[in-house]
Amino acid sequence: VQAAFLQPGISLPSRAGSQLQGSPVVPRQSRRRKSVAIAYEAGQGDGAEPRRARWEPPRWREQLQRIRQMRSGRDAPVDEMGVHRCYDTSAPPEVMRYQVLLALMLSSQTKDQVTSAAMLRLRRRGLTVDSVLQMDEESLGQIIYPVGFWRNKVKYIKQTTAILKHKYGGDIPSTVEELVQLPGVGPKMAHLAMHIAWDSVAGIAVDTHVHRISNRLQWVKKETKNPEQTRVALEEWLPRDLWKEINWLLVGFGQQTCLPVNPRCSQCLNQDICPAAKRL
């Protein structure tokens, strides 16, 4: 999966009152409907007992700083063609937010270059909730092809757009819980939509790059099986002020250096302190 990121300092206008407020912790899992756990700041409420010293990986700050150094050029595909570059910055805020969500839906199992090209074709047709609702599925499919699983995405986009029109007045939901209820929208997309569209931190956006690299660096206490497990594991120890940045850093790092197959360990500044480098 090629993920889009929120480059530090880039955000969309927020709707008044849309930000998540301090509230009881949402259950991590619901058997009746799709949901994700949302983490909040520690110490909310009166009489809260102090937490025990939390686990954190050794030398992670040094590893993080070296990754920042390797990513300083901002020249990975995600930097140049990620979701933050796919929406029309001159459009009304609700249209920009809708375009962010569509770009995220298209990006699943798709390279950033392909997603960016598909979004450009859509925008040339006037990419709004109404324009997509008026478009038949065959035409929509021809425009977004060859994004991964484009046939399924045509159905999800049409279904989600109809929900946005009738339930949210043409805007997108402003909470993770509501976003993941939309057809074709998973936790990673929901967290990135919160970061980019609403400038709100509800959790860490974890794609296959973040999942892979977190396990290679042993930034998880024990090996995780999927991106959702990795998200939960990272949120248990990673300082909240890094939650936005970590996706951007690791996605580009995974595209350029820490590749899925044949990682370029000889070019990595973390070669001497990466647990996986000795085995690869």
Residue 238 has pLDDT above 90, yes or no: yes
Given this model, what pLDDT does residue 132 score?
A: 98
Catalytic option among 188, 221, 222, 278: 188
Q: How far is CA 251 from the centre of its chain?
A: 10
Select from 88, 66, 103, 42 the least CA-distant residue to 238. 42
Where b means 16+ CB within 10 Å and e means fewer, 65-97 reads ebbeebbeeeebbbbebbbbbbbeeebeebbbb
pLDDT, greater one: 4 or 117: 117
Residue 112 has pLDDT above 80, yes or no: yes
pLDDT digit string, tens, across residues 241-280: 999 999 999 999 999 999 999 999 999 999 999 999 965 5
Check: pTM over 0.85? Answer yes or no.
no
pLDDT, greater one: 23 or 35: 35
Decide yes or no: CATH 3.40.800.10 for domain 87-200.
no
For 200, list phi and psi in degrees, rounded to 5: -130, 140
Residue ranges per domain, the chain?
Answer: 57-73+203-279, 87-200
- Average the pLDDT over 175-193 and give the result: 97
CATH fold of the domain at 57-73+203-279: Endonuclease Iii, domain 2 (1.10.1670)
Residue 150 has pLDDT above 60, yes or no: yes
Does residue 188 have an active-site annotation?
A: yes
